[in-house]
Amino acid sequence: KQEVTQIPAALSVPEGENLVLNCSFTDSAIYNLQWFRQDPGKGLTSLLLIQSSQREQTSGRLNASLDKSSGRSTLYIAASQPGDSATYLCAVQIANTDKLIFGTGTRLQVFP
Amino acid sequence: KAGVTQTPRYLIKTRGQQVTLSCSPISGHRSVSWYQQTPGQGLQFLFEYFSETQRNKGNFPGRFSGRQFSNSRSEMNVSTLELGDSALYLCASSLGGGRTEAFFGQGTRLTVV
């Protein structure tokens, strides 16, 4: 059974810091891994999608890496801003389906 | 390009009633999945539909059901509502067939009183 874990559960940093969010999964038979952000009471916004054959993806100040063999992904946020404050979720897509298994999320607060 | 649309945004229902939630996927997307989000359990998978066929179902009681129409729009129904069904229900749309990016709607906030 696929299990997805995110560490840390919460993080509070001053503006400008570079930070790393971690995601680990137990079964390497995945199609892809996707990172989302969620603002309070809102839906999920897709940030980055990494296919199982890829090692990393970049979008602006965000960089996500994937190591399928070790069951790990990291989301790197450069030069954090207060607007980055949100909950960040990683999800793995199960092979042969469109089903996503989500981690428990990292709640990020960036203060001025 | 319109995103995923979920209606209604908010609902308040009484225990024992039933409710129907709607999801309109992005144009051209054939796969729709539903998730339940609660503070205690996080995001849990409910169902997955592709071209009107349910391909996967999560570990939820039979009171939770869904369907997908020929235009890819999907509905989910919860009968005999319980207090524990209070949650944010999220719908995701994708091209389908695996390996494609999922896009989520804003969700329907269901409160059961």
User: Considering CB atoms only, which of B56, B90, B98 is closest to A44?
Assistant: B90
* 3-class state of residue A82 by DSSP: helix
How many angstroms separate the CA atoms of A25 and B13, rounded?
37
> Is residue B76 classed exposed, middle or buried when 0-12, 13-18 and 19+ CB atoms within 10 A define those classes?
buried
Q: What percent of chain B has pLDDT over 90?
A: 91
The confidence score (pLDDT) of residue A98 equals 87
- Residue A16 Rama label (left phi>0; alpha psi -120 to 50; beta): left
Of the pLDDT bands very low, low, confident and very high (cuts 50, 70, 90), residue B1 is low
Residue carrying structure tokens 């869904």: B66
Is A100's Cβ below 8 Å from some Cβ in B? Answer: yes
First and final CA of chain B: distance in angstroms? 37
Q: How confident is the model over A38-82, as pLDDT tens digits?
A: 999 899 999 999 999 999 999 999 999 999 999 999 999 999 999
Q: Which of A70, A66, A75, A74 is nearest to A31 (CA)?
A: A66
Pick the residue of A2, A32, A99 with the most B CBs within 10 A to test the interface with B by mutation: A99
The pLDDT of residue B2: 78
Evaluate whether A89 touches A6 at the Cβ level (below 8 Å).
yes
